[in-house]
Amino acid sequence: MKMRDLEKATGVNRETIRVYFRNGLLPEPIRGGRNVADYAEAHVEGIRLIRRLQKEESLTLPQIRAMLAGGPVAAPVAAGAFPHLEQLVAARLDRFDALVPLSSVRKRNPKAERDAAALQRIGAIRLRRRAGGLVVSRTDAELVAIWGDMRHAGFDEAHGFDAGILGFYVEAAERLAETEVSQFLTAVTGRAGEPEAAAMAFEAINRMLHFFGLLRTKAVIQAFARRTPAAARRNR
């Protein structure tokens, strides 16, 4: 979207938006030329978050910048006082970037459109339609591309696989996330301020993903072992 569209979507004038950019509160837009900038829906979310922090928390722009960077802003808060935690964590994960065309995934997954539709049906990704065609977030584009890598490895319809089979991963991820967030909030509420909690959550998302991946690898190998003929013979 153009600057005029960003103004209309947020109700904030361009001079104020430029102040946010100069203060490092928003990521740079994609630039198609020297004087051409393309803003994303995520910029809309970022501006709305800044406005809420200004109005509801009476934070200054330097305080908001420190909060987005995970720095200290306020003292530990009481239960239920993390109203902006989701937005702060998302900002640190670099979610505030432009959507990408689904067609950009075709190099890794020639059947990107069909697989993307199947992944949307099971709730794994979200497809959006723009004037130029279908677009997805960068995370969703990577999910579609990964399934393309799996296709190349032999996980295709001829071997009994399609993208729709991945529904159990979506269900497992949602259950795990609910447990993780519940335990995290129980532990940090009253012990950490919102910026510190956001920084901790960001670290957990990145580091514990590898931890869980190793546990899953061990579990899969053990599951194969329990189901092979050799294992059956050992158990006789």
DSSP for 81-113 reads --TTHHHHHHHHTT--S--EEGGGGTTT-TTHH
Number of H helices, E strands in the chain: 10, 5
Across the range 125-149, mean pLDDT stands at 92
Give residue 79's pLDDT band: very low, low, confident or very high (50, 70, 90).
very low
Top-ranked range on mean pLDDT: pick from 9-23, 48-62, 175-189, 211-225: 211-225
- Give pLDDT tens digits for 219-234: 999 999 998 776 555 5
Domain residue spans of the chain: 1-95+193-236
Predicted local distance difference test score (pLDDT) of residue 200: 93
**Among candidate residues 45, 40, 34, the one with its CA nearest the CA of residue 3:** 40
Q: Three-state secondary structure along 134-178?
A: EEECHHHHHHHHHHHHHHHCCCCHHHCCCHHHHHHHHHHHHHHHH
Give kind and range of the element (H or E) at residue 128.
strand 128-130
Question: Is the distance from CB of 221 to CB of 95 less than 8 angstroms?
Answer: no
Give residue 115's pLDDT band: very low, low, confident or very high (50, 70, 90).
very high
Residue, of 210 and 99, whose pLDDT is higher: 210
DSSP for 14-41 reads HHHHHHHHHTT-SPPPEEEETTEEE--H
Q: Is the pLDDT of residue 96 over 70?
A: no
Predicted local distance difference test score (pLDDT) of residue 215: 96
Across the range 132-142, mean pLDDT stands at 91
Category of 52 on φ-ψ map: left (φ > 0), alpha (ψ -120 to 50) or beta:
alpha
Number of neighbours of residue 69 by Cβ within 10 angstroms: 14
Taking the C-alpha atoms of residue 201 and residue 176, their distance in angstroms, rounded to an integer, is 14
In the chain, the percentage of residues whose pLDDT exceeds 70 is 88
Q: Is the pLDDT of residue 86 over 50?
A: yes
In the CATH scheme, what is the code of domain 1-95+193-236?
1.10.1660
Across the range 45-53, mean pLDDT stands at 88
Using a 10 angstrom Cβ sphere, with 0-12 exposed, 13-18 middle and 19 or more buried, the burial of residue 97 is middle
Taking the C-alpha atoms of residue 91 and residue 69, their distance in angstroms, rounded to an integer, is 9
Give residue 151's pLDDT band: very low, low, confident or very high (50, 70, 90).
very high
Across the range 74-82, mean pLDDT stands at 53
pTM of the model: 0.69
Token pair belonging to 41? 């829906």
Q: Is the pLDDT of residue 25 over 60?
A: yes
Question: Is the distance from CB of 92 to CB of 71 less than 8 angstroms?
Answer: no
Predicted local distance difference test score (pLDDT) of residue 56: 79
Predicted local distance difference test score (pLDDT) of residue 78: 47
